[in-house]
Amino acid sequence: HASGEVRRVVFERFDHLDHSEHTAAGGLDWRLGSLLDGAFGYREERRMGSFADLDTSELSLRDDRAGHLKVNLQLTPIWRVETGAELREYEQPLADSPEFMLREKIGSVGLRYLGIARLSTGLVAEVVDGRFSGGLFERNFDEQSLQFAADYVIGGFTRLNLRLGGVRREEDVESDGAEPVGE
């Protein structure tokens, strides 16, 4: 699958905010017999940043990029192992940090029970290695989460998803020698 979109945004009264945006995505869902399946893909988007998130009324364009890979193994007719890896990057010029970027590397593994009609349940563990850069402070973080997941298919396009769990996050702050701002 593939998709693309190009947009031109024109403001009637605030023409200094006129700009172009784009979105491009593609991927492949695959299956090898009844035991192994997965997917991989990539998505890129350039769009205007939200004024609610920024401390300015100037035009600020945000770049988002993400690539993912999933591999799943059907152990038995009722047990399934699901794995995934993802790399995400967000670039958003900020007033004090014009080269601000967030990069996340994400890995996940889950064990699902499929033995009840339209219901699947299981545990999902996820690890995130992240880094904020391009600002006054470089910040690394590590995050681990464990969730109980339940998905119930009600109809053709309707699902009910439940996630309960916890997250542990540790941060490491590196300073460039400047005084902390707003801490």
* pLDDT tens per residue across span 58-94: 777 889 999 999 999 999 999 999 999 999 999 887 7
Higher pLDDT, 137 or 154: 154
Mean pLDDT of the chain: 88
What per-residue confidence (pLDDT) applies to 14? Answer: 79
Query: How far is 162 from 120, CA to CA, in rounded Å?
Result: 11
Q: Quick one: average pLDDT of 132-142?
A: 85
- Give the global pTM: 0.79
Place of tokens 């035009």: 59
> What's the Cα-to-Cα distance from 132 to each of 18, 51, 173, rounded to whole Å?
29, 20, 10
- Check: CB of residue 168 under 8 Å from CB of residue 181: no
What per-residue confidence (pLDDT) applies to 120? Answer: 94
* pLDDT tens per residue across span 156-175: 889 999 999 999 999 986 65
